[in-house]
Each structure stands twice: as C-alpha cells, then as structure tokens.
Structure 1
Amino acid sequence: MKGLTIKLLLLNLMICSGVYAQSTSATLIKKVEGFSHPESVVFNEDKNEYYISNMADREDGDGFISRVSSEGEILELKWIDGLKDPKGLLIKDDKVYVTNNTELVEISIANSKILRRIQVEGSKSLNDITVDAVGNIFISDSGKSAIYLMPGDSVNMMIPEDKKGKIIEYLDSTRLEYVNGLYAQNDHLYAAAWGENNNGNFLKIDMDTREITKISKEGIGNLDGIQPVGEEAFYLSDWASGKIYLAGKNGDLKEVLTSEKSAGDIFFDAEKNQLVLPMNHQNAVWWYQLN
C-alpha cells in the first residue's frame, strides 16, 4: 500500500511539474476509422469520453460531432449533427462549444442538443477555441488572421451595453500569421500559426497589452493544434507534414513523431501520456503512446 501511494504521488508530481515535456518520441498504438474529415479532439473527464468534430464535406448541415469512449470505441458517430465545417472544441460549464464556420455553437452535454448558435460578425473561418481562468472565451479566425473574444460573465460590465452577450473582435493582425491553434495559460494566449506559405510560427499574445511575440526562432510549418505540457512547453502539430513537435517557451523545438499529412487539432492526455491525433484526410483518429 505504501509503495502504491508513493507511485501515485510521483505520477501526480510528474504531471504537475511537466516532466512529460521530456517525452520526445512516441509509438503508434491505435487507429480508429469511420470518421468524416475529423479536425479536433477534446476529452470530457466527467463522462470519461472524447468528443471529435467532423468537418465532413463542408456542405451546409453535413458536419457533426462524435462521441468516443476513452478506449477509442465510437459510441455515437453523429452525437450532434446539422453543422457546417465544425472545428475547434471546448468544454465549459457542462457545455460543449464548437466553432462552426462563422458561428459559435453551444451544446448541452446532458441533453445532447444545440442550445444556441452565436453568429460572429465579420469572421471568415473560425478555428480553435480556448478559455482563460476567469471564463473569457477566445476564438481564432484562420481566414482573417484574427482572434475573437466572448467575455465571461465576470467581465460583462466592462464592455459596452450593446456588446454584452456577443462575440467581439479582440485582435486583428497579419502578425498573427493566420492563427490556427490557440491556448490560454496564465496571462497569455499561446498560438500555433498556419502561416502564409509553410512558415507558421509559435506565438504568444499578452492578454492585457495584446502584444504579439514570436517564440519560435524560425518558421516551423502549417501549424494546427497546440496542447500544454506542464508550464514550460507545448505540443504543436504541423498539418502539412504530420510532424508533432515539443516546443519550449524559450524557443527550443524538438520533433516528437511524424504521422502523415493532415494531423489536425491534437489532444494531449497527461494522465496516460498519450497524444490523440485527428487525421483529416485519413478519416481516422490515431493514438500515440509517448515514450
């Protein structure tokens, strides 16, 4: 019993301190097929299941979200349907939020139904979605090289009355390099940029000043997904090459694995030390065990 307790404490310490950031190789352990151009993966710890967005053929109404068990079994292929080009996923307050072309869709997990659709005025192609510590939701727009903000309830009084409950433009700049992946951590947004050609960078944005800083030392690729590894590093996916990188906040970059072209908005399972890759062109989701 004492030995088990020590092991659990060590495991928790590893997760919290970011020791998994040392994982720079991985083994493919599972391929699950049957999806339709999957783009993003998120895990519901309460339900012990994944939600996976499927872009399908990008026609109006053919996109959907799948429910998948923690072991990779498809529980409900079209858990939520009637979407158009769904991409980024976020779980917040017993709801799933998904970016859906030029709108944000709010879904009740308990009732398995769409609660509302919020149009994002001026947007072109909404992509990833993240939430900060006080409930502000940030959304990347890869088509416009912009970021939008849906203010949390605690800050609604800080915005004009006619903007309450709406999604507003937060930052619009070519320096965002057609931002794709987005993750809020402490006082910054960290971004995986698609780039204009094949040279997207790893970026950070100060939430208060909105200053954009290039972290990577040179362009990396058509970056898509971004997932934190402790406090000092992130896993980044390069859609064009299928490579997954470990990127430090100091600019260091290490290749972890190479899958195939079209690796999208990845998910990092810190407890299992696994990476889950939605493979858009392959209509599949791949699981990798980090070594």
Structure 2
Amino acid sequence: MKIKTAMIGVLLAISGNAIADVQGSDFALSTKWEVSGFKMPESVFSSANHPWLYVSNVNGSEPGFISRVSKNGIIDKLEWATGLSSPTGSDIYQNTLYVADAKQLRAIDLSTGAISASFPADDAISLNDVAIDQSTGDVYISDVPGGKIFILKDGKLSVWFESPDIPFPNGVLVQDGSLVVANYGLENGEGLARKQWKPDDFGTLYKIDLATKALSSIEPSKKKGVYDGVIEFNGALIASSNPTGQILAFDNDKSYLIDSTDKGVADINTDGQTLYAPYLFNNKLTAFEPVAWDRITTRQEYLEKGADNYYGDEGGKSIATHDGIIKGMFAGQQLTGTWDWEGEYFCRTSTLGKMDLGSDCIQIDVTQSKMRLVLDKGEGMSVVYDKKSP
C-alpha cells in the first residue's frame, strides 16, 4: 500500500511561491534551522514565556539527560540536567521543569539544572509526556505502555484516568478545561512492540474534561496517524505521527497533512511562532515556521510552477514534464505515465513497474520547496514531497 500510495502522487515537481502571512489551519512547514548532536531526543519543551528550549535525551541504555538549547538553534549545554534514567516529555510550572523519567516524575530547578524532587509512580510502566494546568499547578503525565494518565496534585502522584478507548496514551496537552490526549494506536491484539502499524491500528486524539473526566474523540483525527506529540499551533491542533514521519493539523471537522518529514518525529512543541520537532532516530532537533500552500488551479500555473521539476522522498523521485510525460523511479521500480489538466486538477494515468496505478485527478498545493498531492480531487489521501535535484 505504501508504494502504491507514494506512486499515485509521484508526478510533479513544483516550485511555488510561499506567502509570508499565513492564515487558517491548513499550512505547510518551512525549515528555519536544524541542529544535531543529541542522544535519542524524544521531546522538547518550548514556551513563549521562556527563553530556552529543553531537549530530553533518552540515550539508549545509557543514563539520559536534558539539553538546553537557544531558540536560534545553538546547544548551550548538551548535558544541562543529569542524574536521569530515560527522560521524555516535560513542562514548566513557575521555576521548575517537570520531566517524565521512566517510573519517576522529576522536578528540575531551572536556575541550576539540579533535580529538586522526585515522585515515584509505582503503578506505571513507563511515564512519557507531561502537561501542566497553569491555573492550578496540577501536573498530568501519560504512561504509554501502561495505558494510564497520572496526576501530581498537592505533592502526591496517583492514577487520574484510564480507559480501554485509549490503550496507549502518548502526548498530552491542557487546553480550554480539557486534557487533549494523543492515543498512539489501537491494541488490536498486539502491543507496542509490533513490526508494522497498519492503518486499522492508527490512533485518535481525545479530549478529557478536567472537571468531569468525560471522554470525547476528536473525529477528524481518527486513524490518521500513530500519534506522539500534540500541540496547539497556528490556530489548529497539531500532532506528530512517529513511525510515519507525518505532521498533521486538525481544525473543527477538517484534517490536513501539513508535512511529511523523517520517521521518528517525536514529541513536538511550540512557542507560538515556531514548531520544534525532535527526531528520535536522527539525533536532531528541527525548527519549522508556517508558510502558506499555493493552490495550483490552472494548467498555466502548473506549467510555470510545477512542470519539469523533480519531487520525491527517500523512496525515489519523479518528474512531470511540460509535454505531458511522467517518469521516475520509486522503490527500484520505473514509473511511467502521462498527465493532462481538467478543471482545477492535475489528472494522471501511470504505471509503476508492472503495477497499473490507474487514473486519478489530484489537487496540487506547493511551496518553494514542497509539493502536496491530495487525491480524488482534494477529497482523498494526501502525500507531501520535497523538491529534488535531477
């Protein structure tokens, strides 16, 4: 399915013009900076009210640590906070950074980087993300493999919520009197350590009312990703899908694929202006800013902004030429086909190796460096490709 989905979109190449003033919840991401040198970075804390970024390094079987990073991408101190096991999600309340660390919640003094308190979670398997209600100081912590959400209230850690609807609670976010929870995926007779997450296993975002604990699903998010982090950014809920490398936006009854990045994109965060994404397997932190998609609606626009350029991903690349030819290579297979323009859509017929991909008319959106294809005239599956060299 992955090959066919990728190939259906393999066709174009586009270099549109990004618009600086980004409105609405459907937008693209443009890289501001990228810094490497971390040790399995799982999470990043950021806030408009705090000058530093704090990156949690799991560090494999070795002791983990927290890095302090400037907002322009300079590592100020790689091992800023030590004495940890495998730190993951974090949040700040007053002058304390609260960090999930295996079966402990750690409190770290922001002035010194020293651990000021530890709260054991004996009923947890492995704590993961942290979100704090700034109005009360209540700290909510997810336990992905344990299927629980804990609360630190009045200095005591206890189980706050558990439901079979959320077997793997991952990212958490306090928003408007609710706790938004990113369920990583569905049990479906398997645990977390599975070789492949199939679409039927994908997760959903939920809201839990902080006062009543009433649970409701965020329907546009249903089975759209294998969710890790969740944030509010640029007027929408944004979630990262760790094993697929996707970043998605949800607003009311709509969902949008805003970027396809490297696999292992973990617990994202934002300071309101920039989206920060740690990559667990690539040992890097990337800062993104929102840019507008440029919708292509005419043949002439496509010829000016898309034709005769290569676009693709790690699986390969392709080109759609000005004279209606599609060609390229994906997964070691040759892609061939033709394209035409009908109404507001790019319409193609193509073959990958011996596989007939059939025909489809596709919505095309571009930025200066990316292309998004939305199948079935903008009503179907989406893919995002990067501009490639010939």
- The answer to whether the superposition gives a TM-score over 0.5 is yes
Question: Matches of residues 196-275 of structure 1 in structure 2 within 5 Å?
Answer: 196=186, 197=197, 198-217=201-220, 218-229=222-233, 233-248=236-251, 250-270=252-272, 272=273, 274-275=274-275
Paired residue secondary structure (2:225): coil
Q: 2:156 aligns with which of 149, 159, 166?
A: 166
Residue type of the alignment partner of 1:127: N
Contact 2:25–2:236 (Cα < 8 Å) also in 1 = no
Q: 1:278 to 1:20 in 2, by over 3 A?
A: farther
Contact 1:244–1:257 (Cα < 8 Å) also in 2 = yes
1:175-195 CA distances to partner (integer Å, 9 max, x unpaired)? 113110101112211111101
Residue type of the alignment partner of 1:282: N
Residue type of the alignment partner of 2:247: I
Q: Distance in 2 between matches of 1:47 and 1:229?
A: 17
Q: TM (normalized to structure 1)?
A: 0.83
Instruction: Name 1:137's counterpart in structure 2.
Output: 139
Contact 2:140–2:152 (Cα < 8 Å) also in 1 = yes
Residue type of the alignment partner of 1:140: S
Instruction: Name 1:27's counterpart in structure 2.
Output: 30
CA shift for structure 1 position 45: 4.9
Residue type of the alignment partner of 1:261: K
1:239-288 CA distances to partner (integer Å, 9 max, x unpaired)? 0111111112x342111111111101101232x3x211100000001112
1:17-74 CA distances to partner (integer Å, 9 max, x unpaired)? xx75435111123220000010111125565111110001144xx1000010110100
Identity within the alignment, %: 29
**Which runs of 5 or more residues in structure 2 are unaligned?**
1-20, 187-196, 292-390
Q: Distance in 1 between matches of 2:115 and 2:104?
A: 13
- What count of residue pairs does the alignment treat as equivalent? 257
Paired residue secondary structure (2:165): helix
Q: 1:185 aligns with which of 170, 175, 181?
A: 175
Q: TM (normalized to structure 2)?
A: 0.63
Question: Matches of residues 85-96 of structure 1 in structure 2 within 5 Å?
Answer: 85-96=86-97
CA shift for structure 1 position 82: 2.1
**Which runs of 5 or more residues in structure 1 are unaligned?**
1-13, 157-164
Q: 1:110 to 1:27 in 2, by over 3 A?
A: same
Residue type of the alignment partner of 1:276: Y
Instruction: Name 2:109's counterpart in structure 1.
Output: 108
Q: Distance in 1 between matches of 2:255 and 2:47?
A: 29
Instruction: Name 2:74's counterpart in structure 1.
Output: 73
Instruction: Name 2:354's counterpart in structure 1.
Output: none
CA shift for structure 1 position 136: 1.0
Contact 2:92–2:132 (Cα < 8 Å) also in 1 = no
Question: Matches of residues 39-54 of structure 1 in structure 2 within 5 Å?
Answer: 39-43=42-46, 45=48, 48-54=51-57
Larger Rg: 2
Contact 2:47–2:271 (Cα < 8 Å) also in 1 = no
Q: 1:46 to 1:195 in 2, by over 3 A?
A: closer
CA shift for structure 1 position 207: 1.5
Instruction: Name 2:278's counterpart in structure 1.
Output: 278
Deviates more, 1:115-124 or 1:215-224: 215-224
Contact 2:46–2:270 (Cα < 8 Å) also in 1 = no
Residue type of the alignment partner of 1:257: D
CA shift for structure 1 position 233: 2.6
CA shift for structure 1 position 220: 1.6
Paired residue secondary structure (1:57): coil
Q: Distance in 1 between matches of 2:211 and 2:48?
A: 31
Q: Distance in 2 between matches of 1:257 and 1:52?
A: 22
Residue type of the alignment partner of 1:289: E
Q: Distance in 2 between matches of 1:177 and 1:254?
A: 25
Give the number of the structure whose residues are more often helix, by fraction.
1
Q: Distance in 2 between matches of 1:238 and 1:58?
A: 24
CA shift for structure 1 position 113: 0.7
Q: Distance in 2 between matches of 1:47 and 1:134?
A: 19
